[in-house]
Structure formats: C-alpha cells, structure tokens
Structure 1
Amino acid sequence: MYEDQTYETILDRSLARVATDVDKREGSLVMNAIAPVSAEHANIYILLDGIIQNGYADTAIREYLVLRCKERGIIPYDATQAVLKGKFNMEVPIGSRFNLNELNYAVIAAIGTEEETVEGEDTTIIYYTYQLQCETVGTEGNKYFGELSSIEYIDKDLEGSLVELLIPAEDEEDTEALRERYLNSFDSNPFGGNKQDYKEKTNALDGVGGTVVIPVWNGGGTVKLIIIDSNYNKASDTLVARVQEEIDPDPQGTGSGIAPIGHTVTVTTAEELVVNVNVRITLNEGYTWSQISEAATNALEAYFLEMRKVWENGGLVVRISQIENRLLNLDGVLDVADTTLNGVSSNLIVETEQLPVLGRVTNG
C-alpha cells in the first residue's frame, strides 16, 4: 500500500519544504538533518503497511491470523498421532513399545484375536491384534507398515507387524485451511446441535476428514453422522467407534457426549462406490498402453481424491468429460473416446452415503 513512500521520495518531499535560499545540497547542514528522519519515516511506512496487512484475516500471516481466529473461538487444529493395527504371534503388554523405520509405536489397547490358515497346510495360527499409537505426531505416522522391532525385551520368539491404518494422523492445520475456516464461520451459524454444529464438532475430532449430517433419519430426535477419515477414505470400525463414543456414548441421548440431551446419534461411515473405467485411447506413435497405464491410473486417482475431499458438500458426479480431459493431458495420448463408467456411457451420480473410489482402468 505504501510502496511509493521510499526514503528518496520522503527526502525529496521534505527538502522541497525548505526555502530555496537555503543550501540543500548533499552534505549540507539541512540535508544531514533531514536525511536520517526521512529514513525513519520510510521504516514507519513499512511497519504501517504490515500492520494493515495483518489486521485483516484475508491477508494476515499465520501468527496474526491465529489471533484473529481466537476472537471467534476458532483454534488451529494440532497435529495428531496415528493409530494402527498391530498383529503379534503372542500376547504383549499394554504400553509396550516397538520400532519401525524411524518411528516408535506404543500398544494402547487390545483388539482381539485372528485365526490364519497356513497355505498348503492343515494348520491354523492364532494372532493377537492390538491398537498401536505412533509416538510421532503428523502424517508421517500413516506411512509405514511391516515388521516391528521390540524396544523393550518381551520374548525371544515374539514376532509382530503393523498391518492396517485405523485412525489416520493429521498434520497441524495449514494456514490457508485455517483462513478458510475463519472466513466460512461468517456464512454459518453452528449452535446447540444444528447441522453445522454437528459437522464442525465432528470434523474437529482426530482422524475425521468429512461429515454428512442426516437429521431425523429414524424418527424425532435421531441423527445420523456419516464420516470419512482424514485421508478421505472409508473410516475404519475403530474410528467409527471412537467418534460414536465422543458424540453420543451409551446410554445414548443423555448428553454425555458432544450431542445435546435428547439426541440419539448413530455414527457410520460411507460405503465405497467402486467405479471401473473403460476407455478407448488412441496413442501417439511409439507408445503402448503398458507404458502409460500407471500414469493414467494416477491421474484418475487424483481426480477421485479431489471429489472425496469435497464429499461432505454433496452433489458429487463422476464426469466422463473430466476423466477424458485428464487422460488427454498425459504424454503419448492422442485421443480418448467411448468412455464408460461401470459399463455405462454416462456420468455417474454419487449418492449421499457413497464415496467414489477408482476401480479398474482398462483400454479397449
């Protein structure tokens, strides 16, 4: 805003106010007196510009945006810890710690047992399954699966591995996401168990990436919450159970959780709608389908992820035009035609409780 208020501009303007019969040349008494003051004035304009920029949520840097958000009771979401499923060949103590790559994990709860038949043999192995929490916060804890090493000695024959992500971790809320949440707060009125109140409070729970609220779904006072995880995938049973406990634990309707007294809340997750895509691709000379199939799948996976990120807003449609446009942008693709989705040559409407997931991508 004050980019034109430079040291030189202020100095020239100040010297112009001095009478013409006074020596104003460089090195003169007047020049030496005015120059330092002009430099200070230029710095004040720079500081003033920063004050104005940081006084508005639309342009404030994170430090001042956080202060602005506090005025509306909005706090940045902290980074969270991933919870994963571990499988062991024997029971392990709650609290025992394990390592995989650069990360450490602690056993926080028992899940149960699983039986697994050895292929080609008439032998059944019993595995003990547990919830393990990553000790490092952030999405790094979502990435690794495989054989675990015990940090403290338990048994020489102990074997265990991480096999499934139950509750995804999230990084600290991004500045632009916080800014959007602040600005959106003026367009909604969350209060006392209305739809926006349920959505905001459920999305704020660890591991939740989106929520659809269905009021009066099974009679007066009933509410259904359909959630997905923070990776924008179908939520695990563990995450659903944890959200249910936070929102409306047993005995239900008593106001023991986030839900108001008299609301009976059922938490579920979206059902995956697997979409198989078949296209007829004309390739440039020198290219084969096997060369570009992985890139085609990645491009369409990105499109489906974009849809899942806005899933909670409803109205999703898997569009053939979007699929063809993304494939046309790939190296080696000359033309795309005759696209079908699950065998039908038309756009696919996604229902409220469905989550679109890419299935097979074939060229034929």
Structure 2
Amino acid sequence: MADLPLYLQDQTEDEIMQRMLSRVPADIDKSEGSFIWDAQAPVAFMLSEAAIWAQELLRRGFASTAASDSDDTRSVELDLRTAEHGIARREAVAASGIVLFTGKPGTLVPEGTFVATPTDEVSGESSVEYVTTTAVVLDGSGVGTATIRAVVPGKNGNVPAGVINVMSSSVSGISSVSNPEPTKSGADTESDQSLLERFYAKIRSQGTSGNKVQYMQWANEIAGVGGVEVVPLWKGPGTVGLYILDTDKRAASPEIIDAVQNHIDPTQDGQGEGLAPAGPVVTVLPAEEVPISISVKVQRTQEKPSTLEEIRELIADGVKAYLQQIAFNRKDPLVRYTRIAAVLLDIPIIVDYSDLTINGNSEQQNIEIGSGQVAVLGTVNVSE
C-alpha cells in the first residue's frame, strides 16, 4: 500500500501513550506504575488497535490492495469491489477428455459410468474420479471411446495420458479402461490476481458497441477461458471469429467453447439474442494447437549428478512456461529459437548444449504462429 494518511501514522501503542502522558500536568506523578500511567495504558492499547483496524479497512477498500498474491486465497472484499462493475469471479471448471474401453464386443457402457486414476500410496496422492458424459457400445473389436468430465472441478482433473485405468462403476463385459490423451481445460476458482487483471481491463479499456475489446471481455466472463483472439470479418462482412484458450494456454475444451458461444451469440443468426449486437454472426472456436518439438544434446555438470530424464523435465517446464507467455501475442507472433536456447542455458545442471533442433529444423529459424493458433509443447528429446 502507498504511504499511510497522516491520521494513521505514528499510531503505535508507545507513541499514543507518550502523547497522552505529555498532556498530564507536570506536578502529577505519571511514572510507570502510577495511577495516571495505569489508567492510560489500556486506552493507548485500544487506540493503537483501532488504528490497525482502520489501516486494514483502508487496505480492503481498494481493489489493488484487497487482492491477494496467493493462489490459495480469495478476497471477499475484491469480489464486492469488482461486482460494482459487473465482474464476477469465475468458478472452477471440470477437466474433460476421452477414455477408451475394451472388453466384450457389443457391451454397452452407459452415460454416467465412473472411472478414476489409482491412488498413489507412496506419495499419498488421492484418486481423481471422472464420469462419462456419453454412452458407448463396444464395436466388433471390443473397443469404444466415450467422453468424460471430472467429478470435482479444478486443475486436479488435468492428468497425463494413460493414468485413468480404474473402473469405479462395475460394468459387465468391460476388461479395461484408459485415457489415450491427457485430460485438459480443468481450472481452479479464479485467483485474485486474475480477477484484478480483468477488473483493470474493463475499467481502463472500455469495451463498447461490439468492438474487439468488448468481445474479449464477454468471452473472459466464462469460467475456464484463459485467452481470446478476436478476428473481425472472419468469413467476410458481418462475421466475427473468436479463438479461445483455456487457463493452461491450450485449445479450450468443447464445454468452454459451447459456454462462450451461448453467452455471446447462441443462435448465430445475427438477431442479437446473446450479448453480441444484432447484425454480426459470431463463431467461437478452440485455438489451433501448433506443437513445438525439441531435440538437443546436452553436457551435464559433474558437481551435481542428474539424469537425462530430470533434464528433459526441466527443459519441458521451461519451454512450456515460455510458450504460455507468448500465447495469442499478435505483436510478436514468433516462437524464437534464441528464447528456447536461453531456457537451456538457464538450467544450472546444463553446462552446454549442441544440435538443437526445433520441429526437426536445425537452422536457427523462428517459427511463426498464425492467427487463431497457439504454440504448445510437443516432444522433448535429450541425449548426450
């Protein structure tokens, strides 16, 4: 917080006590333990507490200081402040994906079947449960796929491929289940910093009359949206395209896309039934993912032994963070070779590297990301 106002400065218990004692006539005993000192000490304490309460009240009265830096804290005062401008905190979103059932041909797996990840007894990590949102009948080969949604909303539901292998519901004729792809688009309840950012965006960049800013604000009102790109004249006059990312800066799930579409232009006939003005037809789409695959030879430090798998994970985390930073950045729509090289050099256990290739290209060339596209991490191969 900025400097405190004068009326809240110098309001500690000792400072208040000294000011009170200075008002007592000099011919009266005011030493510690005297009647006057003992009578004024509790008053000084209570006044200092009141000053602390006033400081806290002042802090909670402004959006910038009410917002917490912790992802685990949600400020009620910030909710009240943003609500004055029609901005509500986005709720948690359940992750979604697909699972592959195998078993006896012709077996029906009904909608509402529960599957889960196993409990990790070593780490103490609990099981994550999902429910099928479509029914499926196994084909002649005894396989079938169904869409799933996490039972508990949140990022916890975003799991890698191959880890959902427990049948929580008993279905006769099913021998196994697995998820061939990672589940995605799960999001926790919006953090204070994200809510504060949307609050500032609305009050500082006013959207009006269906301009690009307003479309972005409308889309960002939907839980799970992590990025929006507006394409005017998407398919000619009278059309607008919206490309959507989730909070992990990946292509948004069908559930998020449908929610944004219904929020802005549910009928897509130019009648203005949603938030979009009458006239333009708005089409909401997930961003097109462009995988960025990396291969590199590294020289490891000898002082701190490490495995190639540890290095691979560090590289993957660093490149993923970089790609999330540049998602939907139309001012600089390039995945830069030098930035990926910098990620390698920022890892302490890598002394040097060679033969760095990006998407199979050994030349030091940048990769341009087009409109509606987002760069995401592909494969990472590390060797010595």
Shorter-normalised TM range: 0.7 to 0.9
Q: State the identity %.
A: 30
- Give me the TM-score of the superposition, normalised by structure 1: 0.82
* Shift of residue 47, structure 1, vs aligned partner: 0.8
Q: How does 1:289-304 map to 2 (within 5 A)?
A: 291-292=307-308, 294-296=310-312, 298-304=314-320
Looking at structure 2, the residues matched to 38 and 14 of structure 1 have their Cα atoms a distance apart, in angstroms, of: 8
SS of residue matched to 1:45: helix
The aligned counterpart of 1:307 is 323
The corresponding residue for 2:159 is 143
**Which amino acid is 1:193 matched to?**
G
Match of 1:119 in 2: none
Matched, 1:53 2:72: no
Is the counterpart of residue 197 in structure 1 residue 210 in structure 2? Answer: no
Distance in 1 separating the partners of 2:62 and 2:238: 41
Q: Is the 8 A contact 1:81 1:133 kept in 2?
A: yes
The two structures have a TM-score, normalised by structure 2, of: 0.78
In structure 1, the residue corresponding to 2:40 is in which secondary structure? helix
1:353 aligns with 2:372: yes
Partner residue, 2:92: 79
Change (3 A) 1:54 1:249: closer
The 1:127/1:242 distance shift into structure 2, 3 A limit, reads farther
**CA-to-partner distance for each residue in 1:238-280, whole Å, 9 max, x for gaps?**
6545654554445533334443332222333333333344556
Of residues 319, 323, 333 in structure 1, which corresponds to 2:336? Answer: 319
Q: How does 1:10-29 map to 2 (within 5 A)?
A: 10-29=16-35
Per the alignment, residue 229 of structure 2 pairs with: 212
Decide whether aligned partners of structure 1 residues 126 and 200 sit closer, same or farther in structure 2, where only a CA change above 3 A counts: farther
- Kindly indicate whether the alpha-carbon contact (under 8 Å) linking 1:82 and 1:168 is maintained by their aligned counterparts in 2: yes
Match of 2:277 among 250, 260, 278: 260
183 and 205 in structure 1: CA distance in 2 versus 1, 3 angstrom threshold = closer
Corresponding residue pairs, total: 353
1:106 counterpart residue number: 131
Match of 1:9 in 2: 15
Q: Measured at CA, do residues 7 and 236 of structure 1 come closer, stay the same or move farther in structure 2, by a change above 3 Å?
A: closer
Q: Which amino acid aligns with 1:105?
A: Y
Any stretches of 5+ residues in structure 1 without a counterpart?
116-123
Q: Residue in 2 aligned with 1:32?
A: 38
Instruction: Determine the C-alpha separation between the residues in 1 that align with 2:184 and 2:228.
Output: 15
Work out the CA distance in 1 between the residues paired with 2:87 and 2:257. 25
CA distance in 1, matches of 2:296, 2:129: 45
The separation in 1 between residues aligned to 2:268 and 2:239, in whole angstroms, is 14
One-letter amino acid matched to 2:134: A
- Counterpart of 2:62, as a letter, is Y
Partners of 1:114 and 1:247 lie apart in 2 by: 38
Between the aligned partners of 1:360 and 1:143, the Cα distance in structure 2 is 18
Q: Which has the higher strand share?
A: 1
CA distance in 1, matches of 2:194, 2:11: 34
Correspondence for 1:330 among 340, 347, 360: 347
1:50-199 correspondence to structure 2 within 5 Å: 50-61=56-67, 62-88=75-101, 89=103, 90-101=107-118, 102-110=127-135, 125-143=141-159, 145-151=163-169, 153-155=170-172, 157=174, 159-164=176-181, 168-199=185-216
CA distance 1:94–1:278, shift in 2 (3 Å): closer
What RMSD over aligned residues (CA atoms) do the two structures have, in Å? 3.2
Q: Is the 8 A contact 1:319 1:347 kept in 2?
A: yes
Cα distance 1:67–1:344, how it changes in 2: closer, same or farther (>3 A)? same
Structure 1 residue 335: Cα displacement: 3.5
